[in-house]
Amino acid sequence: MSPFKHTFLAALIAAVAPVPAQAQNTSAPYLNTLAQSAGKLWFGTAMDTTTREVSDSAYMTVFNDTQIFGQTTPGNTMKWEFTEPSQGVFTFSEGDETIALAKATGKKVRCHNLVWSSELPAWVTGGTWTNETLLAAMETHIKTEVEYYGDGCWSWDVVNEALDSDGGFTSNVFYETIGAAYVPLAFQYAYEAVQSLGADIKLFYNDYGIEYSGTKHTAALALVQTIQGWNNAYIDGVGFESHYSTSWGASKASQLEGMSDFTELGVQIQVTELDVGCSSVPCSTSDLATQAQIYYDTVSACMDTEECTGMTVWDFDDEYSWIQPADYDGEGDPCLYYSDLSRHPAYTAVAEAIQGIDCSVC
């Protein structure tokens, strides 16, 4: 990273000043402190340096508090279109800022992601590929990025959302050109890069709709076994995205069963993108109770599963959530904090789930 970026980030962090109490809430209970005290690696949050978060001092005051969040995931800045916009031309500046910001505030980073069908540059989606040439491009991309960020990443989501809801493979340039083998090959390339570094960087498969039994869950189990059986490939864990809505969510029992199915394969689990959208905004009293219950059940399932090692929400502030009413038929406010940085009842539910006490707000 350039000296300018180091200076910029240092100034940014130093400039985060206290803001009026009514505009934020950084009081106890502290989710990360509670989670770590209970034996988990962290309670964390996604965020992005490419959007307005980093210039929002109230937001950054909450984000920087490692008692609340001990880990971060870059929402977009490490995806292919950001890091290799032209073939062989790598731009890591945005990811550098994420890594530096995390280090400055004592957070671990789940780096996200190396191979996904979305947020790809046009040279990938529109290229004229053969199996050989696309594999070479994928290998170069994976190894260059893993080796560049090194142990600044606690883990990598190597492949993201390879499966459709029906359990088949998502149609994308990798599957259409290489076939299903692109997934274990991606893990092979990532593992080779980690080995070359001599680093302990965990490798994850990340997806939604695999948290509970069903066709996609079964397909994901088979995919993990394929990776495990692939020559010189390795997988450490599976990320349960856990995107829910107050109109539907997985029960604690179904999530416990889902986690058990994967841990029996010898991999760890992490809740990686947790949020629960209200069916309409503002959230009704009923929706807030349901939202709290789904957060509670998800966190409680992780707490009751030894091999579920950490939990991450997909941003904590409704203002910056990807789920906005205009885009999702009125659904919104899925986070633990409202846009004014007061807390949803779900925040209390999460704290109670971590501590193993009954939910008082569900």
Domain chopping of the chain, boundaries: 3-355
Cα–Cα distance, 290 to 81 (Å, whole number): 37
Residues taking part in catalysis: 273
Whether residue 12 is predicted with pLDDT greater than 80 in this model: the reply is: no
Whether residue 185 is predicted with pLDDT greater than 50 in this model: the reply is: yes
Least confident of 19-28, 140-149, 193-202, 349-358: 19-28
pLDDT by residue (tens digit) across 214-246?
999 999 999 999 999 999 999 999 999 999 999
Separate counts of helices (H) and strands (E) for the chain: 13, 9
Query: Which CATH number fits the domain 3-355, given the four candidates 3.30.565.10, 3.20.20.80, 3.40.50.300, 3.40.1190.20?
Result: 3.20.20.80
75 pLDDT tier (thresholds 50, 70, 90):
very high
Q: pTM above 0.85?
A: yes
* Residue 243 structure tokens: 């995107």
Nearest Cα neighbor of 335 from 287, 277, 289 is 277
Whether residue 207 is predicted with pLDDT greater than 90 in this model: the reply is: yes
Cα–Cα distance, 162 to 183 (Å, whole number): 8
4 pLDDT tier (thresholds 50, 70, 90):
very low
Percent of the residues in the chain that have a pLDDT greater than 70, as a whole number: 93
Percent of the residues in the chain that have a pLDDT greater than 90, as a whole number: 91
52 pLDDT tier (thresholds 50, 70, 90):
confident
3 pLDDT tier (thresholds 50, 70, 90):
very low
Cα–Cα distance, 293 to 300 (Å, whole number): 10
Cα–Cα distance, 359 to 338 (Å, whole number): 20
pLDDT by residue (tens digit) across 243-289?
999 999 999 999 999 999 999 999 999 999 999 999 999 999 999 99
pLDDT by residue (tens digit) across 82-103?
999 999 999 999 999 999 999 9
Give pLDDT, residue 24.
64
Summarize the confidence of residues 22-26 as an average pLDDT. Answer: 66
pLDDT by residue (tens digit) across 100-129?
999 999 999 999 999 999 999 999 999 999
Average pLDDT over all residues of the chain: 94
- 335 neighbors 64 (Cβ within 8 angstroms): no
* Residue 130 structure tokens: 């053969």
Cα–Cα distance, 82 to 92 (Å, whole number): 8
Give pLDDT, residue 15.
37
Residue 316: strand, helix, or coil: coil
Give pLDDT, residue 289.
99
Whether residue 22 is predicted with pLDDT greater than 50 in this model: the reply is: no
Whether residue 19 is predicted with pLDDT greater than 60 in this model: the reply is: no
50 pLDDT tier (thresholds 50, 70, 90):
confident
Cα–Cα distance, 258 to 299 (Å, whole number): 14
Give pLDDT, residue 100.
94
Whether residue 182 is predicted with pLDDT greater than 70 in this model: the reply is: yes
What letter would DSSP give residue 314?
S
